[in-house]
């Protein structure tokens, strides 16, 4: 029996090993509810490719775009194996904002994404796309911790 809770699920991936667990959760939820999955990768153009760069800018962008296409293709393969319809989406921009905008503009019922679970100085220095999405999204967000870190402090 399929549920009607989710019709459209966005699985945000960065292609890393840490997102594998989130992909599994998202695909399983989609399978149980009969939802369509949008595999979403955002090429982080604002912070990665400076406007002042001239040499190699296009090459770097193409490498990042290829990485994104590979990442969403992997989600599609996993989904097809499970009988889940997956649509591949690669966007350019600021990842947190683009994930939120895509989900809200495409009638998503849930955003699924992974996180490293960084805290303290590590989090301050590298930021957290997952945190930005959780704080800014009107769509419910399921954050799946992918790292092997175990936090017990406050």
- Give the predicted TM-score (pTM) of the model: 0.85
Q: Percent helix, strand and coil across the chain, each rounded to 5?
A: 45, 20, 30
Please list the alpha-helical segments (H only) found in 82-112: 95-105
CA–CA gap between residue 31 and residue 85 (Å, rounded): 9
pLDDT digits (tens, 9 = 90+) for 75-87: 999 999 999 999 9
Domains, the chain, ordered by start? 8-145 (3.40.50.12370)
Encode pLDDT of 35-79 as tens digits: 999 999 999 886 555 566 566 778 888 999 999 999 999 999 999
State residue 30 phi and psi, 5-degree precision: -65, -40
**Contact between residue 28 and residue 17 where contact means Cβ atoms under 8 Å apart:** no
């Amino acid at each position: 029996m399929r549920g009607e809770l989710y019709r459209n699920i966005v699985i945000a991936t960065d292609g890393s090993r840490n997102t594998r667990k989130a992909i599994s959760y998202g695909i399983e939820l989609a399978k149980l509810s009969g939802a369509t999955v949008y595999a979403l990768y955002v090429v982080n153009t604002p912070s990665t490719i400076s406007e002042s760069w001239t040499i190699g800018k296009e090459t770097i962008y193409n490498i990042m775009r290829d990485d994104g296409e590979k990442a969403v293709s992997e989600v599609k393969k996993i989904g097809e194996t499970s009988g889940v319809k997956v649509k591949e989406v690669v966007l350019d921009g600021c990842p947190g904002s683009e994930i939120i905008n895509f989900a809200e503009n495409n009638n998503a019922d849930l955003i699924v994404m992974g996180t490293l679970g960084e805290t303290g100085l590590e989090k301050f220095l590298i930021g957290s796309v997952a945190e930005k999405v959780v704080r800014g999204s009107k769509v419910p967000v399921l954050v799946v911790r992918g790292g092997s870190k175990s936090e017990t402090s406050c």
